Amino acid sequence: MECPHLINITKINNPFIKEGLVLTSFEFCRSCQNTWMCVHCGILNCGRYVNGHAIQHFQHQQHHIISIDCKELSIFCYICDDFVSNEKCYKHFQKLRRVLQGNQSRISFITKRYEINRKEHNELIKKNSFSNNNKKCNLKVSGLRNLGNTCFMNSVLQSLCNIRLFSYYFTKLPPLTDPSHLPPLNNTRSNHQINNNLTTTNSAKSIINDSDILITEELRKTIILLWEGSKSAISPQSLFTVIRKVVPRFRCGQQDAHEFLRYILDRLHTELLTLTSIKSNNNSTLNRTIVASIFGGILQSEVRCLICQTQSKKNDQFFDLSLDIPQKYCQDSLPLEQSCPLSECLTKFTELEELADTELYNCPNCKQKQKSTKQFWIRRLPNVLCLHLKRFKWNEYVRSKLDVHISFPAKDLDMSSFILSNMHETRNNGGSPFYDLNAVVVHHGNGIGSGHYTSYASHNGCWHHFNDATVSVCSEDTVLKAKAYILFFVRRQ
């Protein structure tokens, strides 16, 4: 974007230009990742997606509005809250870029000197509960390169990749050149095969050719590369090329991570249904795939006419739940330190509501549209519960972000209050109502079309922070402090 504030910066007076990168220890924070420099004073800090010291510097020095990413050499305006594109019009910014480009080795040396010290590292290990078994965090983990505003995709892919049931299936999936070799769908709770009679449909055979676009195949290859861990970062270019061919709106600009998640799960489910036909003993086709087995739950909606009390019930499959944030936590006067419990968002989702006059119920008994109430219940819980927090709201013609912290548990999320406990199917589906946190997607910034996405994911009790190509070990406390946008919980076995 073009920034109107650059014109006010006529000269850059900082230690970089005058002294050739001479910095003192107090001018640098203890993280060596994603280093940003304030162009006003030359101070080096980590970016907002690591420990956020660069943005904290702006908050304390509010006339220091411009920073530069020392590695990517991108210039950022904190007032616009976005990267700028018109800096080439100003010679002093071009000079700064040349200085930084010629001092990359020096920057690397300085940042590594002030890397986290041993005492803090030991505390981090303690918080992650692997001090007695360091092997837990010796897993080789790869990042995903940003292909230009693709952090929305990277954050979702890293979250899905670290859901064990999901990644296990795709790593065992053979190349989809011969769908007859597809593995059978398993019961993901018991790991016993629910059906041995997996057959390939004629339509599946007919669509497998060189010209067809299969996201399933490209995702399979991407997940295998991520789990190999042989590189610090891999490029998801092949997968992204296929995705943008199918959905043109994903081609450019920042996109919504939740919309991408919905799309990728729906698309995988549809492709796998087309590729395989899973038949039960009575020869009827089951509408089940690995996606439905992992993420699929049943939501029951109940609508009641307020005139005659006639009730209508409808059951729908869901792969995720979108939760409103209660209005009392959306006020500008809310204290910064106050959090909204996730349980309150779930309660709001299942509470009885009276529908607006624009949503009148077409009552079959009254034979006309009437006022009504509506309520959601979970009829069947999924094996992986995906919760989307509706942080973006339309306020007249402006879409703003609700930046309140939602407090969520790392373990023992109890969903028993939100299910139809009196239903035979709910009582006897053999699953626990308790869930443990597995992954978190976070949106940084103000606008849905701008900002940045990162994610946290747990593997064998060790948490990692995924910031595109950069991956770092982090503590559980750090994860719980994040302002979550999407939460992934795995059902307790």
Give the C-alpha separation, 391 to 371, whole Å.
29
Q: What is the DSSP letter of 412?
A: -
| Number of neighbouring beta carbons within 10 Å of residue 398 | 8
Q: Kindly provide the b/e burial profile for residues 435-473, where b requires at least 16 CB atoms within 10 angstroms of the residue's own CB.
A: bebbbbbbbbbeebebbbbbbbbbbeebbbbbbbbbbbb
Query: Are the CB atoms for 442 and 482 separated by under 8 Å?
Result: yes
What pairing do the DSSP bridges indicate for beta strands 233-234 and 143-144? Answer: parallel
Collect all residues with Cβ–Cβ distance below 8 Å to 233 and sequence separation of at least 6. Answer: 142, 143, 144, 145, 468, 469, 470, 471
- Determine the Cα–Cα distance for residues 478 and 142; give it in Å rounded to an integer: 20
Q: Where are the beta strands (DSSP E) in 364-410?
A: 368-370, 372-380, 384-389, 392-395, 398-401, 405-407
- Specify whether 70 is catalytic: no
What are the tokens at 272? Answer: 């796998």
* Residue 464 near residue 471 (C-beta atoms within 8 A): yes
* Rounded Cα gap, residues 96 and 92, in angstroms: 6
Burial code of 285-296, b = ≥16 C-beta within 10 A, e = fewer?
Answer: eeebbbbbbbbb
Distance between CA atoms of 448 and 467, rounded to whole angstroms? 18
Residue 145 half-sphere exposure toward CB, CA atoms < 13 A: 13
Residue 87 token pair: 């800096």
The continuous run of DSSP H or E covering 316 comes out as: strand 311-318
* C-alpha of 401 from chain center: 16
Per annotation, catalytic residue among 57, 444, 452, 459: 452
* Cα 103 to Cα 70: distance, rounded to the nearest angstrom: 10
405 is catalytic: no
Catalytic residue among 151, 340, 363, 462: 151
User: Which H/E stretch holds residue 120?
Assistant: helix 118-127
User: Could you give the CA distance from residue 465 to residue 479 in angstroms, rounded to a whole number?
Assistant: 8
- Residues with a known catalytic role: 151, 452
